[in-house]
Amino acid sequence: MAAKRRYYSSDDHIGKTPSALKRLGRERQQEYLIHWFHRNYEDPQNETPYADKDDETPYNYNYIWGGPYEAKDELWAEFGDFLPENLIDEVVEMVESDGITEWAPGPAHPDMQQRREDAEVDEVERNPELSRRWPTQGVIIAPLTVDEAVGKPLNEPAHITPRFPLGIKDSDLRQADGATQRETALRAL
């Protein structure tokens, strides 16, 4: 049996099923749809490279990770079976209010999750040391090695990200700057 879909908001980390979302008031429904959209899609200028640097068009992106996506199409595909069309139209207007009408996949988009998983598999295949680690939910547990610094906890969780392909330990991550902590948290989603 497949797990039921759940939708989250900035203040709800437990989430709502489609039937629970349907019973919410209109403003709360909008919050959930906006939150879902911005987790799955982002402004292409965040991560998407330009198609041609010599091109005079200011926003000519090369959507190498998927897209461009349109808000109405994506929101309708996700919520159209159980929420009213006029609600979806209102949310589309809200997410496009700053002028962005073409979107790139965001951190939680299934294509981006698959890309991260593929990159991790490639890294493990290239690095035999990683094959001695075993995956958990977004972290790996790295056994303490003989030449590792004394004072590090045994089996301390470490997060594997593109920037830290061998992993960054929790104790080191807690001491890292805010940008590194945010990047690692986003990549571990």
Render each residue's pLDDT in the chain as its tens digit; 189 residues: 456 789 999 898 889 999 999 999 999 999 999 999 999 999 998 888 877 666 555 568 888 888 899 999 999 999 999 999 999 999 999 999 999 999 999 878 887 777 777 666 666 666 655 544 444 444 544 444 444 444 444 456 666 666 666 677 777 777 777 777 766 665 544
pTM metric for this prediction: 0.61
> Same domain, yes or no, for 98 and 115?
no
Question: What domain count does the chain have?
Answer: 2
Q: With contact defined as beta carbons under 8 Å apart, do 92 and 135 qualify? A: no
Which one of 105, 130, 149 terminates a domain? Answer: 105
> Same domain, yes or no, for 13 and 97?
yes
The alpha carbon of 124 is separated from its chain's Cα centroid by a whole number of angstroms, namely 21
> Same domain, yes or no, for 53 and 142?
no
Q: Give one DSSP letter per residue of 76-128, joined into a string.
A: HHHHTTTS-HHHHHHHHHHHTTTS--SBEE-TTSHHHHHHHHHHHHHHHHH-G
The Cβ-side half-sphere exposure at 180, using a 13 Å CA radius, reads 14
Q: What is the DSSP letter of 169?
A: E
Which one of 52, 85, 105 terminates a domain? Answer: 105
- Report if residue 2 sits inside a domain: no
- Report if residue 146 sits inside a domain: yes
- Report if residue 164 sits inside a domain: yes
Domain carrying residue 160: 110-187
The Cβ-side half-sphere exposure at 37, using a 13 Å CA radius, reads 28
> Same domain, yes or no, for 53 and 126?
no
